[in-house]
Amino acid sequence: MSFSHNNNKDFQELEKGLQKLLNENLQIFLDSMLKNNIEKYIKESLDEYVSEQRKIQRASYTNTNAILDNTATIKNLDEKLEQTMAELDELKKSVENMLMEQRQKNGELQRKINNWEQSAIEFLRLLERAVDYEKDENRVIINRILDCYNESFLNLGIERIIPQQKESLLERFHEAIDEEESDIVPGNIVRCISWGYRIGEKVLEKAKVIVAK
């Protein structure tokens, strides 16, 4: 009995020892597994984080380069725009100076044309008065001179306005300065007192006439 009891006791102690050893080994195994899993998770997480950071860094580098490239392009465009604006400003000043010079030349030319027109009209007036007051022989000569100059003046654009008796009064070309009794239609021209002058459609001076009452 005593021997059996001792055997049971030894067996129980052995079982406890084995259980304890098993528990310790199991705990060690679990701790090792947990540690490995934690390290693996941490490593994977770190690797993923590092990979993401590298992607962000590459994207940032690419964007930074793009921004720098765009900035350089914009700066280059700004410089070209400033240069173009400066050239346009110089061109504008040059054109304005040319236009000013041309206006001055045109003004001077117009003054010369006006002076020439006035001189031509005064010359024709002299011949007109000479025709009225000279004798027949001289009048023929003056008329010949008038015919010659009239052709020259026509080539230069000046035409005489010489109203004829019984013509209708045209206010654009004729100026009635008086009326007199006549057997022609009232309002029509009785006689011309002085010639008028025109260049194309531009009337330089109206012909002065007397019209019938």
Side by side, the strands of the sheet bearing 202-205 are: 158-161, 196-199, 202-205
The answer to whether residue 8 is domain-embedded is no
pLDDT in tens, 10-63: 666 766 766 776 667 667 766 677 777 767 777 777 777 777 777 777 776 676
* pLDDT value at 75 more than 60: yes
More confident residue, 17 or 86: 86
Check residue 135 and give its pLDDT.
66
**What percent of the chain is modeled with pLDDT above 70?**
78
User: Which residues constitute the domain of residue 113?
Assistant: 68-156
Domain boundary among 156, 178, 200: 156
* 111-155 residue pLDDT tens: 887 887 888 788 777 777 777 666 676 777 777 777 777 766 666
Please give the pLDDT value at position 8: 63
Average pLDDT, the chain: 79
Determine, yes or no, domain membership for 4: no
Rounded distance, CA 143 to CA 155, Å? 18
**Predicted local confidence at residue 84, as pLDDT:** 81
Last residue of a domain, one of 136, 156, 176: 156
**pLDDT reported for residue 191:** 93
Contact yes or no for 189/163 (Cβ under 8 A): yes
Asked which of 137, 156, 175 is the last residue of a domain, the reply is: 156
Do 80 and 142 lie in one domain? The reply is yes
When divided into structural domains, the chain yields a total of 2
Q: How far is CA 41 from CA 27, 37, 44, 48, 200, in A?
A: 20, 6, 5, 10, 105
- Please give the structure tokens belonging to residue 139: 């009048």
